[in-house]
């Protein structure tokens, strides 16, 4: 069976719709993180730390820290929201709420549940990114940021693709962690290394091995690509590199996730 076709099946979309429905009922609390997090980051780091840093060099030209930070926050939101939802959210639904098992007793099969979770994580992360854009827009109106908003229609689908691939990493850990007490492992093994080696919040130091490693980090390319788009209005090779790495992750991880989750949920595989 093709592991990617269920992404387009109505059952996966029914699972996605269930998550959207639940989320929208609590929209007032659900909207707090995407609004507050960039707001705090921009105020604390962009305004606060930015005054200490002043300008830094990016792409051979000086750039104030607030402008450096803004596209990085956008990329990090897509990464973090998707990973968090596909790890914590999916694990709780699978293990504690048993809502997966309830869905699986219907016309929904495991591949639909898994794709529903991945699509939901990507949709939520993209929605959060849009909210972040609104916050950035407010900073723009206040004269703190100048961004090329016309490139947003290019940025949003890329953020969705990246979030979808990050959700595949989250689901991988959902499949393999022995218990919720082990949730710190993926944070230390994945989120922190990918987050710090990604030039989201600060430029990477000129260390050869780190520069080499970062070439395989989709978040690094996503951050740099978003900067090129939103700061200069120029699509760069980083966007293509990010998209390529994300597609590669999906190709490798989705079949693995399905196999491991089948074993976890049904004890079969």
Identify the residue whose tokens are 């104030």.
64
List binders of other proteins among 13-72 (CB under 8 A). 14, 17-18, 21-22, 25
Cα-to-chain-centroid distance, residue 211: 22
- Pair 62, 55: CB distance under 8 Å: yes
Per CB under 8 A, 108 contacts other proteins: yes
Work out the angle between the directed axes of helices 10-25 and 110-141 (0-180°, nearest 10): 50
As a whole number of angstroms, the distance between CA 14 and CA 5 comes to 15
Buried b (16+ CB within 10 A) or exposed e, 59-86: eeeebbbbbbbbbbbbbbbbbbbbbbbb
Nearest to 136 by CA among 122, 147, 152: 147
The binding track of 5-24 with respect to other proteins, each residue x by CB under 8 A or -, is -----xx--x--xx--xx--
- Of residues 76-105, those binding other proteins (CB under 8 A): 97-99, 101-105
Q: How far is the CB of 23 from other proteins (least distance, A)?
A: 10
Compare residues 24 and 142 and give the one whose CB is closer to other proteins.
24
210 near other proteins, rule: CB under 8 A = no
236 binds other proteins (CB under 8 A): no
**Site membership for other proteins, residue 208 (CB under 8 A):** no
User: What are φ and ψ of residue 61, in 5° steps?
Assistant: -130, 155
Q: Binding to other proteins by residue 182, rule CB under 8 A? A: no
Q: Is 178 in the site for other proteins (CB under 8 A)?
A: no
Which residues would be at the binding site for other proteins (CB under 8 A)?
10-11, 14, 17-18, 21-22, 25, 97-99, 101-109, 266-268
């Amino acid at each position: 069976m093709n592991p990617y076709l269920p992404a387009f099946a109505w059952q996966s979309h029914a699972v996605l719709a269930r998550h959207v429905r639940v989320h929208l009922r609590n929209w007032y609390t659900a909207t707090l993180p995407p609004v507050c997090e960039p707001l705090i980051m921009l105020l604390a780091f962009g305004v606060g730390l930015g005054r200490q840093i002043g300008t830094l060099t990016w792409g051979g030209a000086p750039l104030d820290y607030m402008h450096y930070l803004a596209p990085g926050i956008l990329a990090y939101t897509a990464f973090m929201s998707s990973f968090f939802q596909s790890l914590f959210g999916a694990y709780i639904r699978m293990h504690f709420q048993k809502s997966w098992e309830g869905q699986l007793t219907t016309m929904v099969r495991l591949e639909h549940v898994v794709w529903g979770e991945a699509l939901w994580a990507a949709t939520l992360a993209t929605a959060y990114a849009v909210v972040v854009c609104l916050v950035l827009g407010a900073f723009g109106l206040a004269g703190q940021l100048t961004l090329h908003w016309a490139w947003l229609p290019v940025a949003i689908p890329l953020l969705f693709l990246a979030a979808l691939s990050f959700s595949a990493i989250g689901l991988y850990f959902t499949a393999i962690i022995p218990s919720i007490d082990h949730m710190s492992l993926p944070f230390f093994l994945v989120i922190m290394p990918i987050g710090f080696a990604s030039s989201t919040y600060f430029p990477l130091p000129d260390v050869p091995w780190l520069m080499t490693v970062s070439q395989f980090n989709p978040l690094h390319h996503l951050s740099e690509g978003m900067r090129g788009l939103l700061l200069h209005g120029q699509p760069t090779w980083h966007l293509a590199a990010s998209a390529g790495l994300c597609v590669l992750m999906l190709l490798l991880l989705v079949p693995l996730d399905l196999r491991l989750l089948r074993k976890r949920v049904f004890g079969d595989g």
